[in-house]
Structure 1
Amino acid sequence: MMTLSKKHSRVIMIDDYRFKWLVSPNDGHNVFVAEKENIKGQKIEVHFITDINSFWVEFPSVDKLNLKILKPKDAESIIKQALNDGWNPERKGTPIVFDWKNGTIVRRNKK
């Protein structure tokens, strides 16, 4: 399992632990990914809806677009919620996947 790139990720301190995180764009939604720094453990993936990376056909008419961006305080909230939901960033395994809705993460059902 690969760790997040130092070049493309940001670091945030939570309860004296360092976590790396990044947002990966996708069409119509973005994916927030986080892991504990220097640990090859389980990651979290949090999907959220945004129009920021969509093809801007209506530009400059963007008033109806969802221009949601993720800020460091959002990253902190997401990581804390995932930890409270049982995420153990030191355990190996496939990522735990969530959706982010109105500031709350909701675990996706396994298919």
Structure 2
Amino acid sequence: MALPKKKSRSITVDDTRYRWMVSIHQHVLYLTIEAEDDPGQTFQALFEPHDQFKREADENWSFHRQGRSLTPRDVTKIIRYGLANNWKPQSKGQKPILLYAWDAERVAPGAQNPDTNEVPLRDIAIEQVSDLRFDLSLDPYWRKTLFAAELFKRFTLPEDYFGISNRARDCGLHFAVFNDGYTECGFVVFGIESVDFPDVAMYTTNNPSII
């Protein structure tokens, strides 16, 4: 199915015309590209969207704008990347090619944000959750607590927990930890999630014989 002309844009790369469209679903930005004339195989690049938030007068944060922008120059790079990696835009009956975010970042990195009043809260939460995996895995108190905890019971980390960065603390972000079950070899899986962005969660396995 061809991209709708009202929602897509046209671009010419190396004498071939393409159409491209950007959409966002569940915190993922999708760039879809296809040949403009008689389209065949579709090419998609997926990115983290980098939502930007601003603090309101009541001290709460609200979504302000989308922090990532994709320019025609970025789209040109991605088209050439796709063509060099087996994308066949005129070929019928081919499954779409997906370029995932960790690859796409090398092709079209997110735009830098010059407005210091805007904060990428979700990005900060992702970075903090990743760091907390290691802090909690080495913390004797939380190891003992989570080994004995009821499955999936959430424990909110204190705001002054040493593993929480000043940046995350200043933004008022909160984090929870929980016992997420066991592996086949008997290790306990610790879950760490952002209270403010529940879809931001990471996991680490821990040996209960080591406190």
TM-score range, shorter chain: 0.7 to 0.9
Return the letter of the residue paired with 1:82.
G
Percent identity between matched residues is 30
List alignment gaps of at least 5 residues for structure 2. Answer: 54-59, 109-211
How far residue 103 of structure 1 moved from its aligned partner, in angstroms, is 2.2
Verify: 1:98 aligned to 2:102, yes or no. no
Corresponding position of 1:37? 36
Verify: 1:59 aligned to 2:62, yes or no. yes
**CA distance in 2 between partners of 1:39 and 1:81 (Å):** 21
Shift in alpha-carbon separation, 1:66–1:53, aligned structure 2, 3 A? closer
Structure number having the greater helix percentage:
2
Compute the TM-score of the two structures, normalised by the length of structure 1.
0.77
Compute the TM-score of the two structures, normalised by the length of structure 2.
0.42
Runs of 4+ in structure 1 over 3 Å off = 51-54
- Asked whether the equivalents of residues 29 and 51 of structure 1 are also in contact (C-alpha less than 8 Å), the reply is no
How far residue 101 of structure 1 moved from its aligned partner, in angstroms, is 1.6
In structure 2, the residue corresponding to 1:78 is in which secondary structure? helix
Corresponding position of 1:73? 73
Corresponding position of 2:84? 84
List alignment gaps of at least 5 residues for structure 1. Answer: 105-111
Q: How many residues align?
A: 98
Corresponding position of 2:23? 24
RMSD of aligned residue pairs (Cα, Å): 2.4
- Asked whether the equivalents of residues 30 and 47 of structure 2 are also in contact (C-alpha less than 8 Å), the reply is yes
Shift in alpha-carbon separation, 1:21–1:77, aligned structure 2, 3 A? same
Higher relative contact order (CA 8 A, sep 6+): 1
